[in-house]
Chains A and B, each alone.
Chain A
Amino acid sequence: MYSPQIILEAALNGLMTGAVYALIALGLTLIYGVLHIINFAHGALLTCAMFAVWIAWAWLGMDPYLAILPLVPLMFALGYGLQRFVIGPASHGDDGNILLVTLGLSIVLENVLLALFQSDTRTLDTDYSFQVVALGPLLLSYPRLIGLGVAVVVTGLLWLVLNRTDTGKAIRAVAKEKLGANLVGIDVPHVYAVTFGLGCACLAVAAGLLMPTFYVNPRIGGAFVLVAFTVVVLGGMGSLPGALLGGLFIGVVESLCGLFLGDSLGQIGIFLIFIAVLLVRPTGLFGAKA
């Protein structure tokens, strides 16, 4: 019914969408791995970053890829501040509370954006938005190909930061043993905030990669965050390679489901996988222990 070429093309396109999912999930899984919290505000923060990219393009005429550069430190600062001054103090260190505080934050952020920008959908166009690259008989979207490359590079960089720097060592120490880390003189609230900031910085990159081919409205984050949860759970909460592979896999699943079941049911495969993984193996494919 479908020629192998169409299926292959769909799979490759899914792989490239999956790279952006992986980037979003990378931030989420990093925050989970260290703070052991599920950040419900992740989607809303992504929406903020996407609007920032759009503003940079619409008001300053900045290329979306270029906009990533100033946006990464900005989002890092936003994440740092949120964790240090809002989420941390408000939740008194209780898991259930953190879930609720981040949920509250996401509602506020989403609706502030709604108040500022109304519910209109906005797009930006660049010369390369619809450019394609021919790979043998297959046509691949150029911006998505860049997305794939950058996602792999960012995962590598994040891995280097975690494994080769002192800050990374402190982050890993806090993730393993909060009290012990505190005893050897690591400033735990600071490390928490840095981790949250790093997670948000990943969103800045994801936003810059998404905008050339995607659109933004105040509610767009919700669509991504559920997918990102799936990726994180699938890859194992807290696992960076898990997030990358999980993201790529979910991208392919979504694309193939979309091809076979039609657009409206395309996402159903993702959620069924999500439920199945949660029920059968909640530690995910790469997770250590529950």
Chain B
Amino acid sequence: MTARDLIPIAVLTILAALLPLAVTSSPVLNFLVFMLIVALGAQGWNILGGFGGQFSFGHAAFFGTGAYVTAILQLRYGVNAWAGLVLATAAGAAVGWVIGFLSFRSGLRGSYFALVTLAFAEVLRILANAASFTGGAAGLLIKLDVRAANLQFADRAVFYWLVLALVAAVLLLTRWIQRSRFGAQLVAVRENEDAAKALGVNSLTVKLRAIALSGGVTALSGCLYAQYFLYIDANIAYGSWISVELLLAPIIGGVGTVFGPVVGALTLHGLGEVAKQFAGRIPGIDLIVFGGVLVLAVAFARGGILGLLERLRDRGRGVMARGSKEVSHAGR
């Protein structure tokens, strides 16, 4: 990674970190924290779906695992919340590896992979909803005990900075993946798995690494969700809403790009809030907007918002100098 890779990430993170100094209203901070948690989970989806081309429709499996592992460790075993955060991430990676091992070994691709991930998430949801160990349908309530050692903060801004730092860390991780040999192999598998295999890429290993990383990052976001809202149940943690959210953000923002998931999450939730302001109390209005934006993005903006911006930039440059397209693609 070069300075050119790091500077945009650093600048954006610092700018975002200054926000709580200007905004102190708690609904706005709540909104920002929730949006960043979604962005973090979406970054996880993007590692597998964006770079690896394996579209998962069941990332709730990882999000929920992260949320439940940390909640159960704290409630039942008295484990420290920070340790819970680490273990939840590891558990998410392990679940990712297992799901990946089962489905990639059987050669599932495309729609079949999408369906099997959906089914795994559903199985986990039903189990979590039925077992008393996971609190059943009543869910789990993490005890309110505001201390930094418990990963609970009196000031919402502190939590915001924590999530922001993790989002930034995953931005760096994604950038590193993009520049690494592993990333190149992952993209090769996405573009043409058979060709990648013929060139000596062990596609199973590459995909397993991707899904484990992806599961870990998304579990981290689930853990933060549980820690921020202090309550989870099966329909929140393993619900299909989160699978959809985590897939929408990268696709709207720019699938397979470093900043795509963050841009997408910000855009979607921004639009959702605007729609709520305009339409008032109509239930589900923000989701109508999400669905509509998804259809429009697929129809008119393949590559999402970032892809659209890039095309505009290319068009601008193309007038001055032909051939700049390759340069801008390499720098993406």
A: which residues have CB within 8 A of B?
A: 37-38, 86, 89-92, 95-97, 99-101, 103-112, 114-115, 118-119, 218, 222, 226, 229-230, 233, 262, 264-265, 267-268, 271-272, 274-275, 278-280, 282
Closest chain-A Cβ to B57's Cβ sits at a distance in Å of: 8
User: Do the beta carbons of B291 and A108 come within 8 Å of each other?
Assistant: yes
Q: Which of B121-140 contact A (CB under 8 A)?
A: 122-123, 126-127, 129-130, 137
Known contacts A100-B251, A115-B284; A90/B298 CB under 8 A: yes
Determine chain A's interface SS by DSSP, over half rule: helix
Enumerate chain B residues within 8 angstroms of A97, measured Cβ to Cβ: 298, 302
User: Do the beta carbons of A278 and B115 come within 8 Å of each other?
Assistant: yes
- Checking A101, A115, A278 against B106 with a beta-carbon cut-off of 8 angstroms, the contacting residue is A278
Closest chain-A Cβ to B135's Cβ sits at a distance in Å of: 13
B: which residues have CB within 8 A of A?
A: 55, 57, 102-103, 106-108, 110-112, 114-116, 118-120, 122-123, 126-127, 129-130, 137, 240, 244, 251, 282-285, 287-288, 290-295, 298-299, 302
- Checking A92, A96, A115 against B282 with a beta-carbon cut-off of 8 angstroms, the contacting residue is A115
Enumerate chain B residues within 8 angstroms of A90, measured Cβ to Cβ: 295, 298-299
Closest chain-B Cβ to A84's Cβ sits at a distance in Å of: 14
Q: Can you list 27 A-B contacts (CB < 8 A)? A: A37-B111, A38-B114, A38-B115, A86-B295, A97-B302, A99-B111, A100-B294, A100-B298, A103-B294, A104-B295, A107-B290, A108-B288, A109-B291, A110-B287, A112-B284, A118-B283, A218-B284, A222-B240, A233-B115, A264-B129, A264-B137, A265-B126, A274-B116, A275-B102, A275-B116, A278-B119, A279-B106
User: Do the beta carbons of A101 and B116 come within 8 Å of each other?
Assistant: no
User: Do the beta carbons of A106 and B291 come within 8 Å of each other?
Assistant: yes
- Checking B137, B240, B292, B302 against A108 with a beta-carbon cut-off of 8 angstroms, the contacting residue is B292
Given known contacts A97-B298, A103-B291, A226-B118, what 15 new A-B pairs fall within 8 Å (CB)?
A91-B298, A104-B292, A104-B298, A105-B295, A106-B291, A107-B294, A111-B284, A111-B287, A114-B284, A229-B115, A229-B118, A230-B119, A264-B130, A272-B123, A275-B116
User: Do the beta carbons of A278 and B112 come within 8 Å of each other?
Assistant: yes
Beta-carbon nearest neighbor of A117 in chain B: B283
Beta-carbon nearest neighbor of A114 in chain B: B284
Closest chain-B Cβ to A7's Cβ sits at a distance in Å of: 22
Enumerate chain A residues within 8 angstroms of B287, measured Cβ to Cβ: 107-108, 110-111, 114
User: Do the beta carbons of B284 and A267 come within 8 Å of each other?
Assistant: no
Enumerate chain B residues within 8 angstroms of A110, measured Cβ to Cβ: 284, 287
In the bound complex, what is the Cα–Cα distance between A37 and B127 (angstroms)? 30
Enumerate chain B residues within 8 angstroms of A105, measured Cβ to Cβ: 291, 295
